[in-house]
A and B are shown apart, each in its own frame.
Chain A
């Protein structure tokens, strides 16, 4: 990982400039030029290191959401993951080591639509969905300290 990428990743997971030329602001803050900063962001995006640049919404304030899981046969995991990913309301989706082996997050504008989404996923997968709504956030993701060592 080059030095500029490391700097951008560690310094701008929060507080990205709200300014007409945000990349120029960053360039000035870290002493390089705007074109280099922009090129670096594009490179990180292409590599997949940067999922996206922008807001992480507060689930509770942004609408309704919940963590959910299903139990599917191990050998059909990819198939079920694809069915679930087909729903635009699903953002994260991971295979995990447990009897409940597919874990995903469902979002919606409100509780009623959230329930409809869950019902539709349950129907598409032909199995019950374990629904685990958040009751309290003690610690939220405020960026990730990357150790380059």
Chain B
């Protein structure tokens, strides 16, 4: 407010937030990660022609709105020694699916639990969870424990271990443009 009062006709008015174009460019820039420099928000602001404070306000707002569900390190499990990654898929009766999902989600090693649309006849499974472990054996033992403790014996499931990781990066909802290419050199 005080800034607004201090504005003279020679001082450009500081906008209160990013415009739509700047927001779009900011998203395109950060979806591949922040630049690893002392003042990353300042660098981002320069790239989109705005102010550091507005970039920070925007990212905070996106977190509050739930557009950003997590903000921090995205690690590669594989490189940390968690080489066994299983997607476990379950064919659960629709009436039981919420309860089963709650049980699965309560286990520490389960990082994701989603319901997905079946695609019959080739794909009858509607509940998916992801488990990371340091070996195939530990993951299989863990799943067995989940079945026992969760009393899930009656539910058909399949374990799909990943055998190779061809790609892992953030989703690109906004197309990549010259801005994000420019940042790669800075990081």
Contacts and interface: CB of A to CB of B under 8 A. Distances in A.
Interface string B141-182: 000000000000000001011111111111111111000000
Q: What range describes how many residues of B lie at the interface?
A: 35 or more
A139 B36 contact: no
Interface string A67-109: 1000000000100011011001111111111101011110111
Contacts of A14: 70-72
B31 A55 contact: yes
A13 B75 CA distance: 8
Contacts of A140: 69-70, 112
B52 to A, nearest CB: 6
A125 interface: no
Given A49-B79, A130-B119, A133-B116, A42 B171 contact: no
B116 A94 contact: no
A84 B167 CA distance: 10
A111 to B, nearest CB: 13
Interface of B: 30-34, 36-42, 52, 56, 59-60, 62-63, 65-77, 79-80, 82, 85, 87, 98, 101-102, 104-105, 108, 110-117, 119, 122-123, 128-130, 132, 158, 160-176, 187
Given A63-B171, A139-B112, 12 more contacts: A14-B70, A18-B71, A21-B38, A49-B75, A49-B79, A54-B34, A55-B31, A56-B74, A57-B170, A91-B169, A94-B85, A136-B114
